[in-house]
Every structure is written in structure tokens, then in C-alpha cells.
Chains A and B, each alone.
Chain A
């Protein structure tokens, strides 16, 4: 199971609003790719375009180099932002039905449903109506609906929203496992800490355009240096505000996170800190994904 998703030159306008503006990117096989952007950036429109759910003014979606049609989409799994299941239908029957629509035989759909319900720890709700499940369990059923036919591409719009830490861990592990098995995984989320943990690559878009693309590792190690300094008894970090070429990124629990211009000598920063009080922490850190995100949008 492997394949590459290519989004090439997507353009979509709604009246005077440009939702997608010549957007192009790639999702390689065997990787979990985070699809990030502020609200209204065009993430959901892009995901819908992959499934032919929105008309495009220009551009194309390709799978392994060929234009995507209904036949290819049957091998894709989709979890939309606004969850969609039949509220009054039984969980097991619903998943079998969706599996069959994706081309499974009745027996295979039944077996896959049982396997995934066991895996996501909701096998005891097989005979329950969806509307009677908790939010977290509905989320698991929704993910199962996207997985039941063993897709080659998983597109998940905000799959982690509203989940408790246990749910996030369970679903996150499933996504990592799927990628390890060769599946392409594209997920959008505003929970950047979780994206940082789950994803190997990110694509950040704004106003329908690609602004940052790369591996999480590359992005976190690139850019200006980050320095965390803790001075005993100093919670305002006034000493750091005065330093040329240094800006305060974050101040919390007595530690200040500084961003240094390339011209700044870290010894000067240490000296300034020692003048303010006893230095209990002084360490270089990687750029966080949230910082990458914010910097990309400024």
C-alpha cells in the first residue's frame, strides 16, 4: 500500500472571496502530514476538493501521477470536519454499509468493522445507535468509517478536536500505525502540540496559498535561535526587553523564552541575565511548531 497525493494549482473563488489561490503540495506515502492554517485559510475547501466535493476553477488532484476519479476515491478515507453519520443507524451496520460503498464484500466489511471496533475499544457498542454514543465514541466511530476499507489515503479534518487525552492518544496511535503501514495521512488541526507529536511533515497555508512546507524537524531547527533563561526572583524579565537584537517570545513560570538575531552573542545575554539576578537556567531550544506557525503568518 503506497501512493503519493499531489494537489496541483488549485484555485477556487466564491464571489469576491478567494478560497484557494494556486495551491500546490504533495503528501508522500507512509507519512503523517499536518495541514495547518488559520480559520478560513482554505484547509477544508482543499480537503473537499480532494474528494470532488467542491467545484474547482482551476487545478487538479492527482494520485500516483494520475487524475483522481471515483475509482481512486473509493480507496481514500475521509473524516470531514463536521462529523457525518446516520444518527439512528446501528454502529455495526453503518460501518459495514460504508465499507461496502468503498468496494468491500459483505463478509470483508463485517470482518473489518469488527477488527476496527475492537482496535478502537468500542466493540461493545456495535449494536448501539450512533446517537446514543458519547462525543468521544462517536469520534472513534467516525474514524472507523474512514478506516474500515483500509484506505491508501486518509484525509482527516480536525480529527482530534473535542477528544480527551486518552482519545487523542488512541486515535493518534492509529494514525501513526497507518502511516507506518504505507498509508498517506493528511490531517488538519489547530492543536499544534499534537501535530508536533504526530506529524513528520507540515503544510501551512494562509488565504489559500502555501506559506510553509517541510518536515517538522527542518522547520524546528531552522530560523532564529531560541534561548530559555530563568533568573531567580525575576518574573517580568525586564532585563531582556532592553537587549538589542533580542525579542521575548514567551514568558511563563519565571522562565523567559528569547529569540536571538543572528548578530547577537549569547554571552552578552548571559551577562545581562547575571546582572539581573542568579541564573538558574540557560539553555538553547528548538523552534516550536506554534512559533513556526505564527512566524509564517506574520
Chain B
């Protein structure tokens, strides 16, 4: 099975490599304009904004950082899906051979099977001609335990001791069940009555508070981690990209022919499309790997949580890209960007840490639910609420609409800051100065 996982990961890497080489070959083709490629189509349909976006897409996809980053994320996702599957496989059903001396009644046989299932053991019963033969087989390891005349269980050494082949849980359950059968006989129950009791089903157990769903929880947490890293990565691209255009002074040449909102819009659109493409590849890869290895992560509401995370990645990026673009326009050096990056990322960090905590506990409080409606934290908090079934569709829609409205307001504010700050050089521009004017 391990070979299959390795083959999938290698195949994904090869596909990615081929795709990148083909796209690079297209870029080096006889027509520098890349007619027919989707960045070219974008340029044709969106004018200056499309041209700026097209340049961003080409430069990002061509960059080594993007290719290596995508590969690392794919490997991380594959590991997150495959490793738990391998781990659960190692503690799966254990084969237990049980020697039977003196026969076993049908009810007792059914109970031994039930004991095996309860302890995740695959039980195989073998008849022993005599007690001596059973002892010989026990010492040789041919059987793991022996049942003698339905009244006694014989082991080579104590089940809990190191080196014992017998599953202690199975031994304990079998001993209890055989005691029950013995009690049935003592109570002179008919076989039908005994069978009725033996095959009884447990009554349903219901809880007032929902318990945590381990599968959805794991899917949520993996998704939150990816959401966090992607938002940080894409927004850092924006921050550094805007700063570099300012520090290289190319922005003055560009703004001599395009409007600030066109330049900024093209940049966030281009990076956003690269981000969406990368995220789609990762989610598709996660679904394929999950299906291939039969991962629990994608069962139940797992795919819904993943789809939700993809949507909130888009909404989260749409909101934060303007914040980071405005921030980048106030800086013109790498150290200034580093100083800016931390305060800008605080809302993302708060939403991420809060969401991871709630996803683990499964109990969102009122504050968390409020955060699920605030554009800076909604991408994380709303995703967790979906995973926990704690939100109605209209609540989800309301949060998304608030986020869209917040994004529109932020875009207007950021464009204003950008226009005022991006041509001011000679030190970091203070936000107070930009807002005050």
C-alpha cells in the first residue's frame, strides 16, 4: 500500500512538472504575446487591468518560489492524508487463532466471534483433539489461546505479559462471555432463550450536546492550516509586490499611463487567480489522494468543509489583498515590509488560533460566533461552524455578504491610501498622514 502512496505523490509531481514545462515552452514560443493562453485572453477582455493581471500571473507562475511552494504544499497535504491512514492500519484487526478442546456450543461460538469483533480481532477457531495437543500448539505458537470444555481458557503465558501472542482484550471478553453461557446453562434457559439474550441489540444512546466529530475535526484543522498559510503567502506576495514596484520606481512609469485603481486591481486580480489556481490544484489533489487511500478525512461532511474553505479562501483573500496592498504602498524597503507584516497579520492570526481551538473542542462560544460575521476573521470562524453543523445556510450567506460588503469598503479605502502613498518616497509613509489629508 505504501508503494501506492509513493506512486501517487510521484505522479502528481511529474504532472506538475510537465505542466510547468509546457507553460514555460508556450512563453518562449515564437509569439511573445502568448496568443490563446489564458493570461492573453484576460488581457484582451479586461484592458489595462487584464494586462497588469496577465503580467502578474506570468511572473508568479514562472517564479521558482511558486513552483517549489506548490510542491511543498502538495507533499504536506499528501502526508496529512496518508499518514493517519497508515497509522490506523497498523492498529487494525489482529489475527487470533483459538484452539477448541472438547467442542463449543453455537451460542458460545457466536459470542467468541462477537468478542473478537469488539476487540478488532479476526478470530479463527481450530479444533484440538486433546488438551495435550492444545498445550503443544500453544507452546509452538500455532494457537494464541485455547478454550477447554467451554469452561476454561488456557494461555502459554499471561496475556498482559510481554511476548504473549494473545490479545488481552479478547481473552478478557471471551472469559466473560463464556461465563455468561455457563450462567445460561445454570439458569436452565432453552437454546432459543439463550440465543435471544445473546443476540440482543443495545438501545440507542443520544446526547443533549453534540459530540466532536473526529473526522470533520481533522478535515477542518487541515483546511484551517492550509487557509492560514495560503492567506499569509498570497497577501505577502501583494505586500512585497507593491513595495517592489514602489522601490524600483517602476510605479511612476506605470501610473503615467494607467490609473492607480487599474494597476492595483490588476495586481490583486492576477495574484488572486494564481492563488485560486494553486488552491484548486491542492484541493483536487487532496480529494484524489483521499479517495485513493480511502481516507476518513473526506467522508461525511469532509468535502463540504473543504468546499467551504475554498470559498472562504477566495473571500478572505479578496478582503485582505486590499489591506496588504495599501500597507505595501507605504513602504519602500524590505525591512519596512517586515515591520508591517506582523501588525497586518494579527487579525489572521487571531482568527486562525481561535478557530483551531474551537475546532478541537467542538464548542464555539458567543464571541466565536460574532467573529464568524466579521470579514477579517470570518474565513476561519465560519468554516469551523460549518464543520460543527452550528450554522444555518442563511447565517452562512449573511456572513459571506458582510464579507463582500467589507471588501468593497476596504478596496475604496486601500485605493485612496495607495494613490497617495505609492509615489511618496524617502521613508515609510505614516498612515496618519495619509488619512488626515
Contacts and interface: CB of A to CB of B under 8 A. Distances in A.
User: Do these two chains interact?
Assistant: yes
Interface in A75-104: 76, 78, 80, 82-89, 92-93, 96-98, 100-102
Interface string A252-274: 00000000000000000000000
A180 B211 CA distance: 83
B257 A101 contact: yes
A53 B252 contact: yes
Contacts of A82: 249, 252, 425
A70 interface: yes
B101 interface: no
Given A83-B249, A110-B32, A100 B51 contact: yes
A42 B35 CA distance: 44
Interface string A135-159: 0000000000100000000000000
B48 interface: yes
A73 B258 CA distance: 9
Nearest to B52: A101
B51 A97 contact: yes
A106 B248 contact: no
Contact of A98 (B245, B249, B252, B253): B253
A190 B425 CA distance: 22
A17 interface: no
A86 B33 contact: no
A84 B249 contact: yes
Given A100-B43, A100-B51, A110-B33, A145 B253 contact: yes
B249 A80 contact: yes
A101 B59 contact: no
Interface centre among A78, A86, A89 (most CB of B within 10 A): A86
A210 B33 CA distance: 45
B423 interface: yes
A106 to B, nearest CB: 3
A152 to B, nearest CB: 13
A197 B147 CA distance: 114
A95 to B, nearest CB: 10
A106 B257 contact: no
A110 B52 CA distance: 17
A9 B245 CA distance: 32
B259 interface: yes
Interface string B395-437: 0000000000000000000000000000101000000000000
Nearest to B420: A55
Contact of A70 (B32, B55, B253, B259): B259
A101 B425 contact: no
Contacts of B40: 106
Chain A interface category by residue count: 20 to 34
Nearest to A50: B256
B257 A84 contact: no
Contacts, number: 76
Contact of A53 (B32, B52, B255): B255
Contact of A84 (B43, B55, B59, B250): B250
Nearest to A70: B259
Contacts of B252: 48, 53, 78, 80, 82, 84
B248 A85 contact: yes
Contacts of A85: 248, 250, 253
B251 interface: yes
A74 interface: yes
B251 to A, nearest CB: 7
A53 B256 contact: yes
A192 B51 CA distance: 40
Interface string A40-82: 0000000010011110000000000000001001101010101
B254 A101 contact: yes
Given A101-B48, A101-B258, A102-B257, A107 B248 contact: no
Nearest to A54: B423
Contact of A107 (B33, B51, B245, B251): B33
B208 interface: no
7 contacts: A48-B252, A70-B258, A82-B252, A85-B253, A101-B258, A109-B33, A110-B32
Interface of A: 48, 51-54, 70, 73-74, 76, 78, 80, 82-89, 92-93, 96-98, 100-102, 106-107, 109-110, 145
Given A53-B423, A98-B257, A106-B40, 11 more contacts: A53-B256, A78-B252, A80-B252, A80-B253, A84-B252, A85-B248, A93-B32, A97-B55, A101-B48, A101-B258, A110-B33
Nearest 6 A-B pairs (CB), nearest first?
A106-B33, A84-B249, A84-B250, A51-B256, A78-B256, A82-B249
